[in-house]
Amino acid sequence: MNKTITHSAPPEVGASLQRLRLARGLTLEDLSRIAGVSKSMLSQIEREKANPTIAITWRLANALGVEIGDLLSSEVRSVDLIRVVDAHETPTLPGAHAGYALRILGPMDLAGKYEWYELTLAPGGELASQPHDPGTSEHLTVLTGAVELEVGPEKRRIKHGGTARYPADQAHVIRNAGKTEARALLVVVQR
């Protein structure tokens, strides 16, 4: 019995990637920063000069807020009125070495304008940031626990339910000086 083996071409990820990226108003540089994939690699993928690994495809899908299959399909699907992003699809910036995790809650097409995150700080953990672009501000709402905020020479304690608004165009640190985990919503507004 002869078995016929058919060889099909690999999916053309580049066209889907470019379509999804442009639909969200993202540049190659924006997507590179969000997904953690080099700009040159993204360009090669979009021009079909390189095929991404599964790991890179997964990172790109998460960054674009789509299922991995959407990148592997050439089929153009209609956009749902309500897009639900499940917890496992939400990109997270792990800062385990500094005792924090930062979940990216905002859509990627607003990155660089408005960004919002869920910040989780272990006891003793801190998120230290260099100055952002001039005019950038942050809004920090503590959901559980309490945090200490340091902006320039000033330090303030923010308790459960409190919100701090501050300029983020200077060095700033959010730290958990307590004995229990702290969680907060962090909104970054760039002008």
pLDDT single digits (tens) 43-64:
998 888 888 888 898 889 888 8
Residues 62 and 96 in one domain: no
The helix/strand count (H/E) of the chain reads as: 5, 10
pLDDT at 76 exceeding the cut of 90: no
Question: From CA 102, how far away is CA 65, in angstroms rounded?
Answer: 16
Residue 182: per-residue pLDDT: 97
Do the beta carbons of residue 115 and residue 104 sit within 8 Å?
Answer: yes
Q: β-strand 182-189 against 154-158: which pairing, if any?
A: unpaired
Which pLDDT does position 74 carry in this prediction?
65
The domain boundary, picked from 21, 39, 72, lies at 72
Average pLDDT, the chain: 86
**Residue 144 sits in a domain of what CATH number?**
2.60.120.10
CATH of the domain at 45: 1.10.260.40
State whether the Cα torsion 179-185-190-191 is positive or negative.
negative
Angle CA 171–174–175, to nearest 5: 130
Q: For the whole prediction, is pTM greater than 0.75?
A: no
Q: Can you give the pLDDT at residue 125? A: 96
Give the up-direction half-sphere exposure of residue 80: CA atoms within 13 A in the CB hemisphere.
6
**Confidence at 8, pLDDT banded by 50, 70, 90:** low
Same domain, 91 and 168: yes
Higher pLDDT, 144 or 108: 144
| 3 part of a folded domain | no
